[in-house]
Structure 1
């Protein structure tokens, strides 16, 4: 049983006042060192699509110099919130916090009907029950042949319908029904979030299998809860806090292990969920029985590093160490891992053109390197990659790292 306890991380700071928002923005000295690290600026070469440009626009809007026009909204909404700029900033501007606070201000000022509509669809996406239903729909969509019809006709090329098709078709490969597993005494709670059964079914099964084989008792709730990240990054911090508090009530005082890097990053911000681990990091530091053997696997594997894992969880070293336990595996990072793939939570739905352009960059490297398998620790990134790989007619598997471990592990 793991006894290592990670230090508690302070709770999310109180909501920023207008003055605090401007003070945070004023930390940016507009040096431009962030520009080479911003994926959207690299695509458009427009100052308004760079971190310092967006900060300047937020300052102008917050002080009343600019009205919130469609053009201004386009520049601000075009941000991925990948936070690559933060690692390059010599002034240590907390861009992610600034962007979330500005989004919340903008949502507050929307007409009531637009605010209610936005809140409703986010609540639906944050509902495990709704996502399970979507998973069943996805499996039926693939099995019926409708996905294939959409791919060979113009239907899949319509912007909004195309996004739905790509996501649902990809989800049809990852959706699984989950059965709760709640041993009386468990070493850890496995957190699968709202999209677990629809986007990470095989990974959850693999996580449970690996834990069992190395002697860890994992509890899996049949009523999955959302961490609140989607709400927070879309301008509803109070709702996000409510979701996360619900998770804290359920898991406080427990070792909590999550499969999705973005969920882990969000949960760790709660003071009572300080002992929250990303799955690969937890398995990497766990004590494995000497009787465990891992079968060799002669495959070329590219590691995709999600922005949430790179920027918020301290890097992906544990993923590489865990996979290095598999003899014969030819492991290497996906080139340009410091650039977002375009999934970015709900971004791939809200900004499909930019999301597709960023995915194309990844696919260029994938075609050149011709891996057998791509692993990633974020379900949104996985679905995005699966969709692009399928449309490119490539025969490459996309999975969670723990799935490879589960396939190769054996007891001697």
Structure 2
């Protein structure tokens, strides 16, 4: 018989882990074989051998674009890592010089060169400041792809790591194990590990909600007249942003739109593209094009800004591709739409991948609300994709800067439309002991929507 432990704890059993209550021998065991199968389901597909293809951009093409940089330095004040480190090699023009030397063969891919290039957040703030219009994002992505060609054993390991994050089924296996890891104290131990990436991983894992199967299929409109829309829910965001997805579906169906969430959709590809796997990113983009091309709805709506930017640049569905905030702002609302007043100060964070101030304009429709832009929105918060795991020290420093600014604003709520930024803010706030709710704009809008009729309240409670 398993040894009884404290209330609602897990006890070690020859067959696995069992949850027991004091004074009660009954309980649910999670057999060791089940844990083994789940871990195997995570690890084996991610480590499946692949043929390494040639990189998409040749060194000659890379050099041609890099040569457009005149090294004027106007980008320097806009670069988060240069502002932090004051090192020319960690500035856009410094990295471009390194990329030129790497592509021409003047420099080999040494650990130091890799470090300076990997510190780039890919926020692309430098592009808006560049008078020559250099496509820095394309340069740094191509450089990462070039470095992956000589990464050795680290290449399949990096690919496995990206697959764990970007494949919903694999990520689902991980999130199912998180409650067990938390109750058994494993996450607490990892948070005390000497490795910063491991500590950061445990912090982020603590912010991931309990696993729920991502929604799929068609949700009919609750009122007449709007047509239909498709919803892109992404990979990590399909789990981390589940409340956002639910809120978006409820709001859109109440506006008269049938919402279709295609089950066959996959990751947008941004994680792979920014980590040196452009072919894998292109494969994912091609798969999404096949899913979303037919039948054509009124709009293809995205919830996460980073996913939107990747889809916008890589797919051919540009005319109907819109963020949820832009779609809501440009679509006539039913006359029955009313919002419950809310007296609160709401700081609006502007993710690096976002364009326009749609969330700020939308939130002004809620009576009593005081929405305002978070200071220094143009500077990245450090939550860019896998950056908190690959560069935890810089990510932490950039995040702490944002928290310091947020404290000064006396905000009650922080609103952001990026999955990575949401996790970054929640993690840093918890560390700082700051009690400010982090929401997506559509969550706040749906929360304040005044549903007059009993039938409406029932629909929204489902």
Aligned partner of 1:167 in structure 2 is 204
Q: How does 1:96-107 map to 2 (within 5 A)?
A: 96-107=137-148
Shift of 1:136: 3.0
Whether the aligned pair in 2 keeps the contact of 1:359 and 1:385 (CA below 8 Å) is yes
**Greater RCO (CA < 8 Å, at least 6 residues apart):** 1
CA displacement 1:156-184 (0-9 Å, x = unmatched): 674122111110111137x5433323258
Whether the aligned pair in 2 keeps the contact of 1:176 and 1:202 (CA below 8 Å) is no
- Structure 1: distance between partners of 2:178 and 2:436: 20
Unaligned runs of 5+ in 1: 1-13
- Structure 2: distance between partners of 1:345 and 1:149: 24
Aligned partner of 1:200 in structure 2 is 241
Aligned partner of 1:129 in structure 2 is 169
Shift of 1:118: 1.8
Unaligned runs of 5+ in 2: 1-54, 222-226, 453-462
Q: How does 1:132-171 map to 2 (within 5 A)?
A: 132-139=172-179, 141=181, 144=183, 146=185, 149=188, 155=192, 158-171=195-208
- Give the 3-state SS of the residue equivalent to 2:216 in structure 1: coil
Runs of 4+ off more than 6 Å? none
1:335 aligns with 2:335: no
User: Which of the numbers 310, 326, 341 marks the counterpart of 1:296?
Assistant: 341
Shift of 1:22: 0.5
Change (3 A) 1:340 1:147: farther
Higher strand share: 2
- Give the 3-state SS of the residue equivalent to 2:338 in structure 1: strand
- Structure 2: distance between partners of 1:36 and 1:376: 24
CA displacement 1:280-324 (0-9 Å, x = unmatched): 111111121101111111111111111011xxxx32x11111111
- Give the 3-state SS of the residue equivalent to 2:442 in structure 1: helix
Higher helix share: 1
Whether the aligned pair in 2 keeps the contact of 1:340 and 1:358 (CA below 8 Å) is yes
Aligned partner of 1:6 in structure 2 is none
- Give the 3-state SS of the residue equivalent to 2:133 in structure 1: coil
TM-score under structure 1 length normalisation:
0.89
- Give the 3-state SS of the residue equivalent to 2:231 in structure 1: strand
- Structure 2: distance between partners of 1:154 and 1:280: 36
CA displacement 1:47-88 (0-9 Å, x = unmatched): 000000000111112112112211111111110110000011
Change (3 A) 1:273 1:220: same
Aligned partner of 2:420 in structure 1 is 380
Change (3 A) 1:41 1:135: same
Change (3 A) 1:198 1:375: same
Q: How does 1:31-110 map to 2 (within 5 A)?
A: 31-110=72-151
Shift of 1:393: 1.1
User: Which of the numbers 323, 330, 352 marks the counterpart of 1:285?
Assistant: 330
TM-score under structure 2 length normalisation:
0.80
Aligned partner of 2:218 in structure 1 is 182
Whether the aligned pair in 2 keeps the contact of 1:377 and 1:401 (CA below 8 Å) is yes
The number of residues matched between the two structures is 389
Aligned partner of 1:241 in structure 2 is 282
Aligned partner of 1:269 in structure 2 is 313
CA displacement 1:219-277 (0-9 Å, x = unmatched): 12345511111111111111101001111101013421010111111112244322211
Whether the aligned pair in 2 keeps the contact of 1:192 and 1:259 (CA below 8 Å) is yes
